[in-house]
Amino acid sequence: MNITVIGSINMDLVTTSPRFPKVGETLLGSGFQQFMGGKGANQAVAAARLGAKVQLIGAVGDDGFGRQLLKGLQQEGVNTDGVAVVPAVSSGLANITVAEGDNHIIVISGANFAVNTESVRQQEARIAEADVVMAQLETPLDAVIEAARLAKQHGKPFILNPAPAQILPKELLDLVDVLTPNAYELAISLGLSEKLSPEELVAQAPCQVVMTLGAKGALFSNADRNQHQQSSFPVTPVDTTGAGDTFNGALARYWDRGLPEAVRLACAAAALSVTRAGAQSGMPDEAALQAFLQSSES
Ligand code: RIB
């Protein structure tokens, strides 16, 4: 499976704490670690670990983090020829607090915001070569729209993970084959009430949706727009950062197996990913995923 990801590349600076601080409070944390991250890079790595041939289109700064991030991606087998190194801008950073089994994330976009329509157009061949094209919203919206337009032009399925959430223009929604939000992200993307149930939100989407439901698995609509639910795989979570990205990478990797099976495998991969600290550390390879599926079935 050939996958082209258009997306962000960040260095994650992760603080662990027994609980989240209150506003104005200073709290003594319990640890600090630095991990490779960024939704685009995470999705690229998730798909590559599972055996896909992955190309990433994005940007890093001409700095130490940028060099580390590129090297890390290359070590994972991700082709980074479509990643620009931008002078005089810092690489993307994510300030992450992990506490109470959850996380808070603040992203400083840096070089990720140097990705634009022109730089995406320059990488058109990578989109034309792909079996599946995938993007998120940590790069500018016009660059995402251009990627979606090129994917459509070349007849490639376009998966959009609408995170971080923002209202999506009709122009983009018309180009999307599958949206992969959580419930909150779908409500924001479509300008709908956050009080609607996941089923009501999915029913109102103008395209197919695969909605992640955290510990409840995923809800998805088939091409016939009927809704189906996939249960989650129970694990003890250590760090949920990157679970959605693992889900998306696996969904793209197993796209050719049909949506129900791709969603099942994506749920299993995402479950495994939360068992280790850091967005990419727990992402399984194919052997680990198969072993986990067998142990879950027995
Ligand atoms: O989805 C998790 C990712 O969000 C982190 O790796 C962080 O970099 C932010 O982009």
Could you list the active site residues? Answer: 245
Atom in ligand 1 nearest the alpha carbon of residue 163: 1
C-alpha 118 to ligand 1 mean position (Å) = 25
Whose Cα sits closest to atom 8 in ligand 1? 38
Q: Which of 147, 143, 31 is nearest to 96 (CA)?
A: 31
Q: Where are the alpha helices (DSSP H) in the chain?
A: 39-49, 64-75, 117-122, 124-129, 141-153, 170-173, 183-190, 198-204, 243-253, 259-273, 286-297
Give the pLDDT band (50/70/90) at residue 101. Answer: confident
Q: Which of 105, 110, 118 is nearest to 150 (CA)?
A: 118
C-alpha distances in angstroms, 269 versus 43, 205, 289? 12, 26, 6
Q: Is 136 in the pocket of ligand 1 (CB under 6 A)?
A: no
Kindly report the three-state secondary structure assignment for every residue of 114-130.
HCCHHHHHHCHHHHHHC
Give the pLDDT band (50/70/90) at residue 34. Answer: very high
Q: Show the CA angle centred on residue 199, arms to residues 193 and 200, nearest 5°.
A: 40
CA distance 172 to 170: 5
Neighbours of 174 (CB within 10 A): 12
Atom in ligand 1 nearest the alpha carbon of residue 279: 6
Which of 104, 105, 212, 280 has the most ligand 1 atoms within 8 A of CB, as the residue to mutate? 105
Q: Which of 124, 36, 44, 114 is nearest to 78 (CA)?
A: 44
Mean pLDDT across 272-295: 95
Which of 90, 91, 113, 138 has the most ligand 1 atoms within 8 A of CB, as the residue to mutate? 138
Whose Cα sits closest to atom 7 in ligand 1? 38
Q: Is 42 in the pocket of ligand 1 (CB under 6 A)?
A: yes
- In the beta sheet, which residues pair with residue 54? 3
Both structure tokens of 23: 């506003």
Residue 285 pLDDT more than 80?
A: yes
**Predicted pLDDT at 298:** 66
Residue 138 pLDDT more than 80?
A: yes
Neighbours of 66 (CB within 10 A): 23
Q: Is 245 in the pocket of ligand 1 (CB under 6 A)?
A: yes
Q: Is 161 in the pocket of ligand 1 (CB under 6 A)?
A: no
Residues 6+ away with beta carbon under 8 Å from 273: 46, 242, 243, 246, 279, 282, 283, 284
* 226 phi, psi to nearest 5 deg: -70, 145
Q: List, for residues 168-190, the tens digit of each pLDDT value.
A: 999 999 999 999 999 999 999 99
Whose Cα sits closest to atom 1 in ligand 1? 242
CA distance 119 to 100: 40
C-alpha 298 to ligand 1 mean position (Å) = 33
Helix 286-297 to helix 259-273 angle (10° resolution) is 100
Q: List, for residues 197-236, the tens digit of each pLDDT value.
A: 999 999 999 999 999 999 899 999 987 889 999 999 999 9
Long-range contacts of 105-108 (CB under 8 A, 24+ apart): 105/241, 107/8, 107/10, 107/138, 107/164
- Burial (CB < 10 A; 0-12, 13-18, 19+), residue 280, is buried
- pTM here? 0.96
Helix 259-273 to helix 243-253 angle (10° resolution) is 150
Residue 297 pLDDT more than 80?
A: no
CA distance 2 to 127: 10
Q: List, for residues 233-255, the tens digit of each pLDDT value.
A: 999 988 899 999 999 999 999 99
Single-letter amino acid code for the residue at 108: I
CA distance 74 to 213: 31
